[in-house]
Structure formats: structure tokens, C-alpha cells
Structure 1
Amino acid sequence: MSATATPAPSKSPAPTSGPNTPAPPPSRRAPGGRLRRWLGNGLVQAFLAVVGLVWITPVAGLLLSSLRSADDSASSGWWTALSAPGQLSLDNYTALLANAGITRAFWNTVLISVPTTVLVVGIAALAGYAFAWLEFPGRDWIFLAVVALLVVPVQVGLLPVAKLFGHLGLFGTIPGVVLFHVAYGLPFAVFLLRNYFADIPREMLEAARMDGGGEWRIFTRLVLPVGRPAIASLAIFQFLWVWNDMLVALLFADSSSQPLTVELQSQVRQFGSNIDVLAPGAFLSLIVPVVVFFAFQRHFVQGVMAGSVK
């Protein structure tokens, strides 16, 4: 008599839906993925290439003009140097370095732009952290007052501050120009960094405090590294604003402290068509911000991408 094997009971499939079935986790996309896909479109890339070509054409023209003699610039356009490269030489830059007014103005620009950028970024980082994570009386009202200063145009404060600097002995000096730029650059800088620091997860700061970290240690070891993209973006913008400024320097700087923008403007007024001095001077004024931008490009892009997904 043969025994019949009893088939094992089959397991019923797990229900795929029901009132108590947990919902599947939402798919997470990489930060900035949609922006990267949009930039990867062929038509968009062609459009950006055209925009880049249009933007770089005057820069290339300025560079070629700075390498041509005054006679060549007066007789033909800069594009003729593409077919006659023998016109190009470094004589204009040699003469530029021998021009005492241009070289002094260049170093004045450095002495104005670098301290202003460092002071604005440093003070704004401290104030942004305080407004974002420290509790003190009147914090929100003080921050609103700082934000309200954003609507005050620079032109409103030129004459009153000029009179104040005259009484303090700062008018016509480099520290006076730096102080004015710092004062008018801080409201936007504080507003930007405070909003960026406020997005840092609270759990990170609480964990650092539980480990015995003080506020200064948390600021230097945690907040500053996390906020590096925003700080780098702010530093680039602030440096460009001050480096290219002429309005404030025209009023607050004298002949011994005026930056490169004012010196080039005075050269135009004095000599008219001295293209052999103006072209290399203008290109020198242009190339420094470009170098600074590309030096911090990675941090700048990180700051823009971080702001696009928050």
C-alpha cells in the first residue's frame, strides 16, 4: 500500500495593498538633478554657447586692443590682429607698469577690495550665526532693522557720510572708502548668511552642544564648514562690487587713494584717445575679478545649487 505525499501548504502572497499597508517610501532625487537634466539639453547647451560667445567677444577685443600699438588701433579695428598677429606685442603693458598713476591705483584697489571683503564676510558670518541660533532680547527686531537697511540706496548716504568723515579725518583716505563699503555691504551679507545658517539642522548643533562644544567652537568647526558655499558666493560678489565701484571712490578717495576705476576715468579725461594706456589698464581691471571668480568657482556653484534645492 503506497503512501501518498501530502503537498505542503503554499504560502499566501503578502497583500500588496490595504488600509494598514505602509506606503512605499518616496523616491529621492539627487539635489539639483532636475537642473542638471535641463542644462544637459542640447538646445539649452547651444543657447548657452551662443551667450558665452557674445559675452567673450568684447573681452577678446579688449585683450587684442591692449596688445596693439596706438597707430594700429587708430587705423584699423581690433579684429585685424587675427589675420596679422605681428601687430601684437607686450609694449603697452611695459608702459603701463611704468605709469606711476596706474600702478598706484591698482594697489589702492587691492587695499580697498581685500579688507572690505574680509571684514564684510567675517562680521556677517558672526552676525548671521547670532541671528539664526542665539537667543537674546530683541533679536528679531534687530534683524528686521538690518533687513530694512537693504532698501536704503547708496546715494542717500553719500553727502551725510562725507561730512561725517570730514569731521573724523577719514575723508579722502583708503580706510574711509573701506568703512563706507563695509557699512553698506553688511545688511545684504547678514541677511544672506543668516538665512543660510538657519537651514542647518538643529540636531547637528544640539549634538555638538551635548558633546561639550561652546558657541565659538560650534561656529568655527561646524557652521563655517557647512556654510562655506554661501560664504564663498558672498565673498565673490562683495569683491566684484567693490573692485568695480567708481561712485563711492569718486567722492571719498583723493588723488593718492583713488582706485583703478577712477584713475582710468581721469586718464580718459586728460588724454582722450590714449588707447595704448586705457586698453591694458581696463583689461588689468577686468582680469583680476575673472581670476578670483574661477578660483572660487567650485564653491560658488555649490552655493547656487544648494540654494536651488532648499
Structure 2
Amino acid sequence: MAATATTTTTVPPLPSNPRATSPSIGTRLRRVGLPRLLVHLSVLAIVILWLIPTLGILVTSVRDKEQITASGWWTAFSGSTQMEAVRLADPATQKEEGGRFVISGSIFEGNAAGSVSAFGVRVQDPSAFEVGKPADIGDGETLQINQDGSYIYSKGAAFDDKRPKRVYVSLATAPEFTTQNYRDVLTSAGIGQAFVNSLTVAVPATIIPILIAAFAAYALSWMHFPGRTLLIAVVVGLIVVPLQMALIPLLTLYNDIGSFFGIPSRSYAGVWLAHSAFGMPLAIYLLRNYISGLPKEIIESARVDGASDFEIFVKIVLPLSFPALASFSIFQFLWTWNDLLVAMVFLGTGKDQLVLTGALNALLGSMGGKWEILTASAFITIIVPILVFFALQRYLVRGLLAGSVKGG
């Protein structure tokens, strides 16, 4: 009879304390690394510092204008308290009750406008007395104002005043939000045309420098010709030239060329060329850093197969350079969309020529600088840039950092 072999499996004993095998918080922090943790915390702090003012502008833009002047935006969801001067009923309505002359009524006159939290008889101290309790206001007069606005004003002798008594009340109002601020801005004259003008300026002024800079960046990266290093140095130097310093010479040059070719001095062509000229150095610099970092083997293989520089650029370089193109598109579009100076100089200041920033600036002047108009205008201005940024933001860091270490 054959013997049967048996296999014995040894099971390791379970730890007495399962939690002892899990790493502690200190161990986890050491694994993450203190420098990386500090970087994350710093980025989080920067994000919060940028978001708080933006959130304040957004909340203010949808608040009632009375509440904006009465309290800060951080109280928007908990209500606000504001001081108002009101007059009691006319002394002619007084009645004698129990040996005292009484004037009664409601400070709201039938319209609920909030709840009274305190009142006073001097503007210097509008919260001197509590609601719901009779207050001695001098000269034998007592005044009781309730939370709902009803009041009892009494005196031991007849009221001989000709004018109603003025008192000051602190009103606690519920949060109130409205879209009227945006309607006031959007329905004002010229805003629609200004929005179209801004798009007409920003879109071509973003595409033109990208197309030209992409060709120049490829040439400076992969084509060998005399003076290439000098051209790269000139491009880097032009980045630091301020717009204001070169604006007048550029305008003079444009007017001279325009008069020779019969181009109007105030036209979209002028603002397109101005924005393209000022954006070209940075565009060439960013795109060259990216294109020069592309794998050299791909370019050489294409040349061995007989591809020309134009075919390499169109079929290989452009598709691979999309992150860099998107990165510069964000910057250029933001600059041209928010621009006011170049548009006013090259396009004009007429009602049909103003861009959105110019039209909103004129609107603020006519509205007397009202906060509700200011904040609503600010958000209307940034709607399109926000959409562009979120559409292309995943390419932003890749396009800016690629090629920063390795250069051609």
C-alpha cells in the first residue's frame, strides 16, 4: 500500500496589534518629504489669497446696493445691520391715555423692511437703547420701539412740537441677492458693441503673433544660418522693452506707412499689428524653448526621408508644440482682452470704437463709481478670459516648463 504524502503549510502568526504595522503620521510625513509638504502648503496659501478677493467681488456683484454700503461682503449670508433715520407720526395724531399723551404707529408704515435691533435719538449713538423696553429720552418723554417697528412715544404733557420726532434705528435685514446689477451693466448703451469690438481685437491679435512666432521659433531651433545666436539675444532683449516707451514711435511709424498705402489711422489693422509686435518677443522665446527640446531623432529621421523644413514644421513640430502654443495663447488673449491703452490709441475712443474695458470705464464714470456697478462690470470683463483659461489650463504648465532645462 503506497504511502500518502502530506503537505504542511505554515501560517504566520497574526500581529497582536494590527495597528502596529501601519506607519505613523511622522513616518508618513517623512515619506512625503518636508520640502514637498512646504511647497504644497505654500501653493494652497497662494490660491486662498487669490480666491478671497475674487470671491468678495463675486458676492458683492449680486448683493443689493443698500446692503453693500451697510456691511462687508463676508456678512452677505448672515444679513446686515444698517442705520436709518426715521420720523415718528405727526404730533397732531397724539392721544391722551391715562394722563399721558401718546403717539403710536410703526416706523415701517406697513412695509416690512427688516427688524429693529436698537434705536437712539442722536446720530452719534443710534444704538443707545434696547428694543422692546421703554427708554427715557429726556424732557419727561419715553419712547419704546419694538422689533417689528411698532412704537409708543409718550409724554406727561401735550406735544407742542410742530415737526415729527426724528429717531435713528439699527435695522437687521435678511440677506438679499439680485441680478439687477448685471442687467444694469448689460443693458447700458454700447456694451454689446464693445463686447464685439473686444473679440474682434483679441482673437486676431492672439492668432497672428502665434503663427509668426512659431515659424521663427522653428528656424531659431533647427535651422542653421549666420547670425542665429545674435537674433536669439535680440529677441530676449526685446522682452524687457516696456509698451509705453515704444508706443509713440510705433504709432508714428504706423501712421507714416498707413498714409503711404492709404490705410486709415484708426482701424483694427493698427491694433492687431501693435499687439502682435509687443507679444512677438515673448512668443518666440517660449516657443523656441519648447521646440528646441523636441527629440532630435524625429527631426533627423524626417530629413533623411526627404521631408522639407516646411513639411517638418507643419506635420511634426506644430502638433507636438500644442502645449506651448496653448500657453502663449492664454497670456496673449488675456493681455489683448484687458487692454485699454493700445485700443484707445490705435482704434479710437468713439462710441462704436470702444472695447469692453473702455465702455465699462465710461459706464463707471457715468454711474458715479457705484460699487454694485463696479463689481458686476469686473465679472463681465473676466467671463471670456476665464473660459479661455479653463479650456487651455492643462497645457499651461507643460508649455512653460518644457524646454526650460534642455535647450537647442
Same fold (TM over 0.5): yes
SS at match of 1:50: helix
Picking from 65, 69, 78, the partner of 2:64 is: 69
Partner of 1:204: 298
**How many Å apart are 1:260 and its aligned residue?**
1.9
Answering whether residue 190 of structure 2 is matched by residue 101 of structure 1, we say yes
Greater percentage in helix: 1
Partner of 1:115: 204
CA distances 1:3-32 after superposition (whole Å, capped 9, x unpaired): xxxxxxxxxxxxxxxxxxxxxxxxxxxxxx
CA distances 1:59-113 after superposition (whole Å, capped 9, x unpaired): 1111112112333323332223222485212222223221232222222221111
Q: Which letter does structure 2 place at the counterpart of 1:113?
A: A
Change (3 A) 1:78 1:295: same
Answering whether residue 32 of structure 2 is matched by residue 49 of structure 1, we say no
Please say if residues 182 and 376 of structure 2, whose CA atoms lie closer than 8 Å, have aligned partners that are also in contact: yes
Partner of 1:160: 249
Partner of 1:247: 341
Q: Percent of aligned positions with the same letter in both sequences?
A: 42
Alignment of 1:74-93 (within 5 A): 74-84=69-79, 86-93=175-182
CA distances 1:224-247 after superposition (whole Å, capped 9, x unpaired): 122222221111111122222223
**How many Å apart are 1:127 and its aligned residue?**
1.0
Q: Which letter does structure 1 place at the counterpart of 2:337?
A: W
Please say if residues 293 and 403 of structure 2, whose CA atoms lie closer than 8 Å, have aligned partners that are also in contact: no
Please say if residues 77 and 175 of structure 2, whose CA atoms lie closer than 8 Å, have aligned partners that are also in contact: no
Q: Which letter does structure 1 place at the counterpart of 2:311?
A: R
Give distance in 2, aligned partners of 1:249 and 1:139.
34
Q: Which letter does structure 1 place at the counterpart of 2:390?
A: F
Unaligned segments of structure 2, at least 5 residues: 1-31, 80-173
SS at match of 1:87: coil
How many residues are matched? 274
CA distances 1:232-269 after superposition (whole Å, capped 9, x unpaired): 11111111222222232332332222222222222233
**How many Å apart are 1:154 and its aligned residue?**
1.4
Greater length-normalized contact order (CA 8 Å, ≥ 6 residues apart): 1
Change (3 A) 1:215 1:257: same
TM-score, normalization by structure 1: 0.78
Give distance in 2, aligned partners of 1:130 and 1:270.
51
Give distance in 2, aligned partners of 1:251 and 1:155.
11
Question: Could you say what the CA RMSD is over the residues aligned between the two structures, in angstroms?
Answer: 2.5
Give distance in 2, aligned partners of 1:70 and 1:163.
46
Please say if residues 290 and 399 of structure 2, whose CA atoms lie closer than 8 Å, have aligned partners that are also in contact: no
Give distance in 2, aligned partners of 1:142 and 1:42.
42
SS at match of 2:276: helix
Greater percentage in strand: 2
SS at match of 2:339: coil
Give distance in 1, aligned partners of 2:34 and 2:304.
43
Unaligned segments of structure 1, at least 5 residues: 1-36
Q: Which letter does structure 2 place at the counterpart of 1:82?
A: F
Partner of 1:296: 392
Please say if residues 267 and 278 of structure 1, whose CA atoms lie closer than 8 Å, have aligned partners that are also in contact: no
